[in-house]
Amino acid sequence: MNIDALVKSFNEEDKDKFVSLALNAIENKEMDIPFLYEEVLKMLLYSVDECTTDDCIWREHRKSSMVRTVIECMYPYVMKIKNERKALNKKVLLICPEKEYHELGLRMVDDFLQMNGYETIFIGTNTPKDQVLDAVLSMKADYLAISVTDYYLLFEAQKIINLIKENTSHVKIIVGGNAFKGNFESIKSIGGDIYLETYQDIKNLREGDENEIIL
């Protein structure tokens, strides 16, 4: 698979070609989902974030929608992998705090978790803290995963974490997103228990939960 062709179709905003190339690469086993997400899609999303021209906003939205379509097209492949893995009987609720609208990274994490045997409940962007608590309690979640892109929204994440910890004793808090890169001290300061950045991190989390089950 020529990654340059994927990048070229993305930069030219040729959605049909971009999606077709990504699907063909997975179908023909030229790359796997973790590689596609981490080495291609994340890189392309970072390039969009670095835009400085006057048309940045609408182009960012257009290109982000292209990435979203590819992720959604991966779902049958994600389910196939999930069905081949032993379920952990662990639930993860995935959210972004209020005012945080960047959720594509969290969508990738959702797929990675499912591929490793977790049951996921994806809520997504701009979720009020009282709704997060209600979902955690209603769904009996074992983990709450919070994604924060904007550094200035860490306080919103902290308010959610405080509320969860005041009302539960078993829920572990997973944090991730660009707001934590180079800012690892904030993970502990806002009450995070686990930081996840890569597919390998999620595989390591699974290994820990498997050992816990064995014990």
Domain range summary for the chain, segments of one domain joined by +: 3-73, 86-214
With a cut of 60, say whether residue 213 has pLDDT above it.
Answer: no
How much is the pLDDT for 137?
Answer: 98
pTM: 0.94
Share of the chain above pLDDT 90, in %: 86
pLDDT at 210: 76
Helix 104-115 with 56-73: angle, nearest 10 deg: 10
Query: What is the pLDDT of the chain when averaged over all its residues?
Result: 94
Interior angle at CA 33, CA 105 and CA 110, nearest 5: 40
Alpha-carbon distance of 111 to 203, in angstroms, equals 12
Query: pLDDT-based confidence at 183, cuts 50/70/90?
Result: confident
214 pLDDT higher than 70: no
Q: Average pLDDT in the 115-130 region?
A: 98
The domain made up of 86-214 has a fold known as Rossmann fold (3.40.50)
Q: What angle do CA 187, 177, 134 make, to 5 degrees?
A: 75
Q: How far apart are CA 108 and CA 102, in angstroms?
A: 12
